[in-house]
Amino acid sequence: MSHLKPFKVDIKGKNTVVVLILAAVLFASYFVWSTINEYESLTSLQKKYLKIIELKGIIDQYDEVLTMSARMAAATGELKWELRYRKVEPLLDQAIKESISLQPQGAQMADSTDAANIKLVEMENQAFKLIGANRLSEAMDVLSSPDYEKYKLIYSTGMKDLSHNIYETIENDLSKIQSNAAKSKFLMLMSFLFLAITSVYFLKKLTQSNQNIISLNASLEGKVQEQAQILVQASKMRALGEMSAGIAHEINNPVGIIQGKTQQLKRLLQSEMWTPKKGLEELDKIFYQTDRIAKIVRGLRFFSRCNEKDSPIPVEIQTIIADVVELCGQKFKINNVTLEVNIRSDLTVQGQVVQLGQVILNLLNNSFDAVANLSEKWVRVSAEPIGHRARITVTDSGQGIPAELIDKIMQPFFTTKEVGLGTGLGLSISKGIIEEHNGIFWVDQKSRNTCFIIELPLYLSKKDLKVA
Amino acid sequence: MGYIMMLKDKTVLIVDDDDGYREILCDEFEYAGAKVHSAENGMKAFEIVKSQKIDAVVSDIRMPGGSGVYLLDQIKKSYPETPIVMLISAFSDLSTEDAYNKGADALFSKPCDLSQLIQAVHLSLKPKNERLVRKFERLASDFKVEITSTSLKEAIETQVLSLGRGGMFVAGQWESLNIGSRVSYQLMSNNKVKQIFEGIGVCRWIRKEPEMGLVPGIGIEFSDLSQESLKSLENILIQLRPRAFIPKGTDGD
């Protein structure tokens, strides 16, 4: 008997899939992290840039204001210009300091610029002193002197350098962010790539599994059919097992008698009592015993054939039932169960002899089990024509089948017998066999006793068909 | 035919439901010189046992209206001394183990050699000392079973063996021992043979694995015993009065 292997859908390369997904997740999280970083760098850079622009404007403006204030003071001698100068000067200083702080670390304003600034402040203070002494034209001379212009130029170039440095820093930062952004793009692409590979891999595996399942399904169907056949065969073998004790008993007895009779015949031949008449009598007795054995062996043919080889042939119901009764009759006799058989001789059906015999044997065995322990023990088998069908009825002295069990008894594996006594397959297999023969099989609920009915189409020979 | 008049003056009851077979058995036992009664089932047979003097019974097992097992039980309950030979087969409802345990004196399976069947009945009717004490040769056996114990009583108490009327159960597991083999057995203590119990028998059944609470072991039917061994055996059997011919196991009978 072949056994079904437990089936497991196996996705090969589980590790590969895990690695792919992990890689995709890793890339994706790195991408998110670096994008957040870029955003933050970009925001701070933007603030820095705006500040630079603001500071540059302030410095240019204040520088001009200082120069203009000094010159206006020199031109008009009015005090308000100096006041303005004094007010704006610290503001300019602060803006310059701030600008310097924005430079890359370690960079310093060139010494020349610083010196020029000091010089300019000195000259302007000198001018304010002269203005204070009302020497306006001298003050103007200082402020428009070539030296003043020279320092002014040096200072403004220095300031330009400073802002240039700062712009450069910003550009550096910006290009860093740009390269980071490129990296992120790459990461994102990689992450998508891995996800895509995983999906394709999965799809491929799914298709493969699907195909596996389809082919497995097909082979399972085959196996189920195979198993069903094995079950039919097994139930036949079980019936045979049940019968074998009776069969052995039935065969051993005539064999024993033949042995004994031949021994006696031998003795008779050697004795003075020998006459041909006596010899013939003994031989007849021996022959009768061989006939007994032959009958049993004929009954056994049910079990000697395999189902597949048993092709449908026209067969008389009487023959089938007589052979079955030959097989199990001993069991009934030993246990005092009356077995009545009443079959019309002209009922022919077309079918597999072994299988039909098996159904009858199964019903008889069931009936036997049901009545063996009752005080009233009988089983009746009858067959009669009903229209174009033959009706076989198996009734026993049991009290019928409870209504709630009627549907269940035909189901596979349902049994009311004790554990080990029944497989619960008999009736379901029997029903299957009868239906395969275009027949019907049911329990007669109207009967007072337990009653199973089988109806099979009658076989009509060509001659019958012509008459019809 | 060597058994002519072997059962002279003995009354034998033949029980079988098959008319043909019963007739053959009756003929052969009559040929052996026995007075024969017959019955077709266990119930009718036991009625005859109750009403007539029957020396031995030969019975089939499967019969409608009172089986051979019923007859065996009834006879061993009411007439334990009456030997009964059972015709069992591999398909019988009764196993060899159970049949001997229930007290059957011999078992045959159908179809059997009728001369051997008559020999068995003949043997079962002999007293034990005639039946068992024969030319006893220590090594004339296929297999040796050593029972380690200082006395038969101790062996029984320690459940190494249990005794029946015609054989014994010895607990243990033996490789390469076959049913039907001749077996020599002896009590051993400190590597010395205790001559109080030694002999030869036939292995009737083997239990290789523990079964239904019974330990593994073998069933041996006694065939040859030394005079001394028979004496010690008889002494113990008088106390035990077992119904079993060969007990099933250490729980005895």
Parallel, antiparallel, or unpaired for β B143-148 and B182-189? parallel
pLDDT for residue A3 is more than 50:
no
Spatial separation of the C-alpha atoms in residues A430 and A424, rounded to whole Å: 11
pLDDT for residue B253 is more than 50:
no
Q: Among positive and negative, which fits the CA dihedral B59, B60, B65, B66? A: positive
8 A C-beta contact, residue B210 and residue B203: no
Banded pLDDT at A107 (limits 50, 70, 90): low
Banded pLDDT at A309 (limits 50, 70, 90): low
Indicate the range of A228-232, A379-383, B159-163 predicted with least confidence.
A228-232
Given this model, what pLDDT does residue A313 score? 85
Q: Is the Cβ pair A254, B114 closer than 8 Å?
A: no
Q: Nearest-CA distance from B179 to chain A in Å?
A: 22
Contacts of A72 (CB under 8 A, 6+ apart): A78, A81
Spatial separation of the C-alpha atoms in residues A164 and A167, rounded to whole Å: 5
8 A C-beta contact, residue A358 and residue A236: yes
pLDDT for residue A196 is more than 60:
yes
What mean pLDDT is predicted for residues B168-176? 89
Given this model, what pLDDT does residue B46 score? 96
8 A C-beta contact, residue A244 and residue A299: no
Tell me the backbone φ, ψ of residue B158, rounded to 5 degrees. Answer: -85, 5
**Which residues of chain B lie closer than 8 angstroms to A289, CB-CB?**
20
Q: Among positive and negative, which fits the CA dihedral A239, A243, A248, A253? A: negative
Residue A17 tokens, joined: 């899939």
Instruction: Say which of A246, A256, A335 has its CB closest to residue B110.
Output: A256
Residue A260 in contact with partner chain B when CB distance is under 8 A: yes
pLDDT for residue A106 is more than 80:
no
pLDDT for residue A392 is more than 90:
yes
What mean pLDDT is predicted for residues A348-365? 86
Instruction: Say which of B21, B27, B65 has its CB closest to residue A256.
Output: B21
Spatial separation of the C-alpha atoms in residues A28 and B98, rounded to whole Å: 80
Given this model, what pLDDT does residue A236 score? 66
Cα dihedral A213/A219/A222/A226 (nearest 10): -120
DSSP code, position B56: E
Given this model, what pLDDT does residue B137 score? 61
Given this model, what pLDDT does residue B59 score? 96
Residue-wise pLDDT tens digits, B106-125: 999 888 889 999 999 999 99
Contacts of B7 (CB under 8 A, 6+ apart): B29, B32, B33, B34, B118, B121, B122, B125
In the three-class reduction of DSSP (H, G, I as helix; E, B as strand; rest coil), residue B208 is classed as coil
Parallel, antiparallel, or unpaired for β A389-396 and A450-457? antiparallel
Residue B25 tokens, joined: 């058995």
Peptide bond into A90 cis (omega under 30): no
Given this model, what pLDDT does residue B174 score? 84
DSSP code, position B218: E
List, in order of start, the domains of chain B with CATH numbers.
Answer: 11-126 (3.40.50.2300), 132-240 (2.40.10)
At residue B41, what is the residue type? N
What mean pLDDT is predicted for residues A268-287? 89
Residue B185 tokens, joined: 């057995």
8 A C-beta contact, residue A377 and residue A336: yes
Spatial separation of the C-alpha atoms in residues A44 and A170, rounded to whole Å: 10
Q: Distance between terminal CA atoms of chain B?
A: 39
Q: Is the Cβ pair A248, B90 closer than 8 Å?
A: yes
DSSP code, position A457: E
Instruction: Say which of A246, A255, A288 has its CB closest to residue B111.
Output: A255
pLDDT for residue A308 is more than 70:
no
Residue B108 in contact with partner chain A when CB distance is under 8 A: no
Closest listed residue to residue A415, CA positions, set A428, A397, A400:
A428
Q: What is the mean pLDDT of chain A?
A: 81
Q: Is the Cβ pair B111, A249 closer than 8 Å?
A: no
Banded pLDDT at A246 (limits 50, 70, 90): low
Given this model, what pLDDT does residue B54 score? 96
Q: What is the per-residue burial (b if ≥16 Cβ within 10 Å, else e) of B232-242?
A: bbeebeeebeb
Residue-wise pLDDT tens digits, B46-97: 999 999 999 999 999 888 778 899 999 999 999 999 999 999 866 666 889 9
8 A C-beta contact, residue B253 and residue B164: yes
Contacts of A228 (CB under 8 A, 6+ apart): none
Contacts of B52 (CB under 8 A, 6+ apart): B11, B13, B37
Tell me the backbone φ, ψ of residue B125, rounded to 5 degrees. Answer: -90, -5
ipTM of the complex: 0.81
Scanning B12-31 for CB atoms below 8 A from A yields 18, 20-21, 23-25, 27-28, 31
Closest listed residue to residue B196, CA positions, set B155, B164, B243:
B155
Residue A245 tokens, joined: 């004790």
- Which DSSP string do the residues of B223-247 spell out, in sequence order? EEE-HHHHHHHHHHHHHH--S-SS-
8 A C-beta contact, residue B220 and residue B142: no
What mean pLDDT is predicted for residues A45-61? 84
pLDDT for residue A19 is more than 80:
yes
pLDDT for residue B103 is more than 50:
yes
Instruction: Say which of B62, B93, B114 has its CB closest to residue A263.
Output: B114
Cα dihedral B107/B113/B114/B115 (nearest 10): -100
pLDDT for residue B1 is more than 90:
no
Given this model, what pLDDT does residue B85 score? 96
pLDDT for residue A235 is more than 80:
no
Residue A147: count other Cβ atoms within 10 Å of its Cβ: 11
Spatial separation of the C-alpha atoms in residues A53 and A51, rounded to whole Å: 5
Residue-wise pLDDT tens digits, B9-32: 999 999 998 888 999 999 999 999
Q: Distance between terminal CA atoms of chain A?
A: 48
Name residue, tokens 């030296």.
Answer: A147
Please report, for residues A52, A62, A177, B56, the alpha-carbon distance to residue A164 in angstroms, rounded to integers and kept in the order given: 10, 19, 20, 137
Given this model, what pLDDT does residue B100 score? 94
Q: Is the Cβ pair B89, A254 closer than 8 Å?
A: no
Given this model, what pLDDT does residue A303 score? 57
Residue-wise pLDDT tens digits, A108-149: 666 778 788 888 888 888 888 888 888 888 888 888 889 888
Indicate the range of A290-299, A346-355, B71-80, B93-102 predicted with least confidence.
A290-299
Given this model, what pLDDT does residue A215 score? 92
Question: Quick one: how many helices (H) and strands (E) in chain B?
Answer: 8, 11
Banded pLDDT at A7 (limits 50, 70, 90): very low
pLDDT for residue A417 is more than 70:
no
pLDDT for residue A6 is more than 50:
no
8 A C-beta contact, residue A419 and residue A430: no
What mean pLDDT is predicted for residues A63-86? 86
Spatial separation of the C-alpha atoms in residues A270 and A53, rounded to whole Å: 148
Instruction: Say which of A245, A259, A333 has its CB closest to residue B111.
Output: A259
Closest listed residue to residue A444, CA positions, set A398, A395, A405:
A395
Given this model, what pLDDT does residue A13 score? 67
Banded pLDDT at A429 (limits 50, 70, 90): confident
Closest listed residue to residue A233, CA positions, set A307, A300, A327:
A307
Q: Is the Cβ pair B21, A244 closer than 8 Å?
A: no
